[in-house]
Structure 1
Amino acid sequence: MKLSTPRWWYSRDRRVMPVTRAVLTPVSWIWAAVTARRIARATPLDPGAPVICVGNLTMGGVGKTPVVRALAERLAARGVAVHLLSRGYGGRLEGPVRVEPDRHAGADVGDEPLMLARDFPVWVARDRAAGARAAAEAGAEVIIMDDGHQNPSVLKALSLIVVDGETRGEEWPFGDGRVFPAGPLREPLRAGLARADASLVLRPADLPEVDAELAAALTARPMLSARLEPAEAPPTGPQVGFAGVGKPWKVERALRAAGCELADFAPFPDHFAYDEATLQALAERAAQFDAGLVTTEKDWVRLPPAWRARVVAWPVRAVFDAPQAVDDLLARLVPASARS
């Protein structure tokens, strides 16, 4: 059974869930120690092509996949043969296997790889090193790995940390600084930043600039920024929205900010597998409001084919604030043939 991301993780007010935080803190020390030891003892594999890791320091969604897409588009525009690599979370195939959108389903390879494979060569592999090697052998000149900052099995030419730039009140991307399961961090903040080449703060389109306090917390490494903007307007008229992502409440906020007339919104755990009963319940809820159904691209690819015609997929894209700074970061990885 998949569990929803605890929203209290992202509160830096230690008066929120104090007993739960205190009870889970000793477990978080063990988690952090095991992670640090695993990283320190590993010997990363060089797959034969430079690997860009787009990772994060926290549990829950931060927008890595739109950043992966945006980076891939910039490299492809320069004629670089870029392949994407994912663990394929939520899929049954261990890989390495190249995703074929016409043959595979989300249950096979995971939702994010299936979504990205419509535009780029995508590989899924539980063994990231084997997946990177397969991509390089298939002709990848640059490999972008979706997630994996804490996975030391692959040699990374560039490690980019994506940080959730949406800060509202006591809601803070690193919570009160505790590591899982007492907080959202996968490892201590300082340790994770030390292995990164740069951070990228991804904020919603309705926030005009990066929060100054957040920017100050990331000064240990160069910081880039981007906005998560709608690729198109949300559907018109009343809508019932739903999302099974790391932070579904962010999808609800974004839809409302984009002008969607949300009559209701249903959150689900990340990578939730929608069954017929759940979808029928959503359709009945929409009928009560004489509304349509809208969800994310990531959720839409997990829907049974018969339901895709009944639900609108609302796409978003990462738009860099300083594209040249991103290109400068990527420049040393671009093959000589594409540098002209």
Structure 2
Amino acid sequence: MREPGFWHGPASLNAHLLKPLAALYGAIAAKRLQRKGLNAGIPVLCVGNYHVGGAGKTPTVLALAKLLRELGETPVVLSRGYGGKLGGPVRVDPIRHAASDVGDEPLMLASALPVVVSRKRAEGVPLARAQGATVILMDDGFQSPAVVKDASLIVIDSERGLGNGQVFPAGPLRAPLRPQLARTDALIIVGNGSAAASVATEIAAQGKPVLAAHLKPDAAQVAQLRGKRVLAFAGIGDPTRFFNTLRASGIEVAGQRAFADHHAYSQAEIESLIAEAKRDGLTLVTTEKDLARLRDWSQQIVPFPVTLEFSDPVQLRKFVADRLFKARERKEP
């Protein structure tokens, strides 16, 4: 879906009119958070958001997977497979599966580590363990009580923050903020903006870590694109951030096209973009997540990969190692 503009603006009539629905939705979501879930038997780290849309969960999952491997762990991602038609549980095969089968994010992640997709997350736990998982990395699912989490790391964009701070559909929050804050074990703030400052203050006041991070573009790809004029397009939670990252990397963005998150591109849309780029002498560029949905055109579109880097990697390493140790202490018979 494309987020309505009033979610990220000052108080509006639309948000006010939707408050009764938001109160009902929020009450149901808050009650759902209290349900007991399945004990996976191995540590479970969840990467989530307080709100709908993206803020950098996928790069965070990849960064955590790298750290876990450095710690001698075997992480397996567990995802609901949003946008895919397979209910699972199934291990994602980048060769056999398409984004329409398992979702774009799981397909992208599966090129780097094992990924299990299961519409009912608890049912995916045995398959994740069968893949040799010593740790399950949940990609999203913070508001789902299906599986007990040993640590929930919440990602928030420093420029967008929480929008108008209202619960869906009056705003972007998936549940009332207070119970979500109480279940947060660490906050990851991406970027140098100040929109997440109030949330960071509350998390820090609870004695929980607030971790600063930034998205770092792939140096080789940046070098390849510098000096070229590009037509950039993206169907992610915040396409503007992608366009700004290109410009901040010294790449000339001659044109840009924004689509809704997880947008299912039609053949006509892609052929139109390719034709426009060819006509104007532009290089067609998109995100890795978008390209996962566009494998038939991958030779004509340049991906722009990014990684998440933490300002204090030692703090993150200590937090994760401590949580794994405590989780295993609790799970010992």
User: Counterpart of 2:320?
Assistant: 330
In structure 2, which of residues 46, 50, 55 is the aligned counterpart of residue 53 of structure 1? 46
Q: Deviations over 1:105-164 (max 9, x none)?
A: 111111111111111111001011111232123321001000011000101011111111
In structure 2, which of residues 248, 264, 273 is the aligned counterpart of residue 273 of structure 1? 264
User: Counterpart of 2:331?
Assistant: none
Contact 1:91 1:107 in 2 (8 A): yes
Corresponding position: 1:30 with 2:24: yes
Q: Which runs of 4+ in 1 moved over 6 A?
A: 208-211
- Provide the C-alpha distance between the structure 2 equivalents of 1:23 and 1:284, rounded to a whole number of angstroms: 43
- Provide the C-alpha distance between the structure 1 equivalents of 2:125 and 2:181, rounded to a whole number of angstroms: 23
User: Counterpart of 2:307?
Assistant: 317
User: Counterpart of 2:277?
Assistant: 286
Q: Which residues of 2 match residues 94-113 of structure 1 at below 5 A?
A: 94-113=87-106
Cα 1:270–1:212, aligned 2, differ >3 Å: closer, same or farther?
A: closer
Contact 2:157 2:196 in 1 (8 A): no
Contact 1:238 1:289 in 2 (8 A): no
- Provide the C-alpha distance between the structure 2 equivalents of 1:257 and 1:322, rounded to a whole number of angstroms: 23
Corresponding position: 1:303 with 2:294: yes
Q: Which runs of 5+ in 1 are unaligned?
A: 167-171
Q: Which residues of 2 match residues 210-289 of structure 1 at below 5 A?
A: 212-213=197-198, 215-219=200-204, 220=206, 221-232=208-219, 233-234=221-222, 235-236=225-226, 237-289=228-280
In structure 2, which of residues 172, 176, 179 is the aligned counterpart of residue 184 of structure 1? 172
- Provide the C-alpha distance between the structure 2 equivalents of 1:241 and 1:299, rounded to a whole number of angstroms: 11
Amino acid paired to 2:154:
I
User: Counterpart of 1:169?
Assistant: none
Amino acid paired to 1:264:
G
Cα 1:75–1:89, aligned 2, differ >3 Å: closer, same or farther?
A: same
Identity rate of aligned residues, in percent?
Answer: 44
Cα 1:148–1:211, aligned 2, differ >3 Å: closer, same or farther?
A: closer
Q: Deviations over 1:214-266 (max 9, x none)?
A: 53254343211111111234323111000010111211111111112111111
Amino acid paired to 2:4:
P
User: Counterpart of 2:158?
Assistant: 165
SS across alignment from 1:245: coil
Q: After alignment, is 145-154 or 233-242 more displaced?
A: 233-242
Cα 1:208–1:59, aligned 2, differ >3 Å: closer, same or farther?
A: closer
Amino acid paired to 1:297:
E
Contact 2:161 2:195 in 1 (8 A): no
- Provide the C-alpha distance between the structure 2 equivalents of 1:67 and 1:75, rounded to a whole number of angstroms: 12
Q: Which residues of 2 match residues 147-162 of structure 1 at below 5 A?
A: 147-162=140-155
Contact 2:91 2:117 in 1 (8 A): yes
- Provide the C-alpha distance between the structure 1 equivalents of 2:88 and 2:138, rounded to a whole number of angstroms: 15
- Provide the C-alpha distance between the structure 1 equivalents of 2:124 and 2:281, rounded to a whole number of angstroms: 46
Contact 1:141 1:335 in 2 (8 A): no
Corresponding position: 1:81 with 2:74: yes
Cα 1:183–1:211, aligned 2, differ >3 Å: closer, same or farther?
A: closer
- Provide the C-alpha distance between the structure 2 equivalents of 1:271 and 1:238, rounded to a whole number of angstroms: 26
Shift in Å, 1:24:
1.0
Contact 2:288 2:305 in 1 (8 A): yes
Contact 1:52 1:160 in 2 (8 A): yes
Q: After alignment, is 72-81 or 144-153 more displaced?
A: 72-81
- Cα root mean square deviation, aligned: 1.9
Contact 2:114 2:131 in 1 (8 A): no
- Provide the C-alpha distance between the structure 1 equivalents of 2:304 and 2:16, rounded to a whole number of angstroms: 39
- Provide the C-alpha distance between the structure 2 equivalents of 1:329 and 1:10, rounded to a whole number of angstroms: 32
- Provide the C-alpha distance between the structure 2 equivalents of 1:47 and 1:137, rounded to a whole number of angstroms: 12
Shift in Å, 1:333:
4.7
Corresponding position: 1:175 with 2:163: yes
- Provide the C-alpha distance between the structure 1 equivalents of 2:298 and 2:51, rounded to a whole number of angstroms: 31
SS across alignment from 1:85: strand
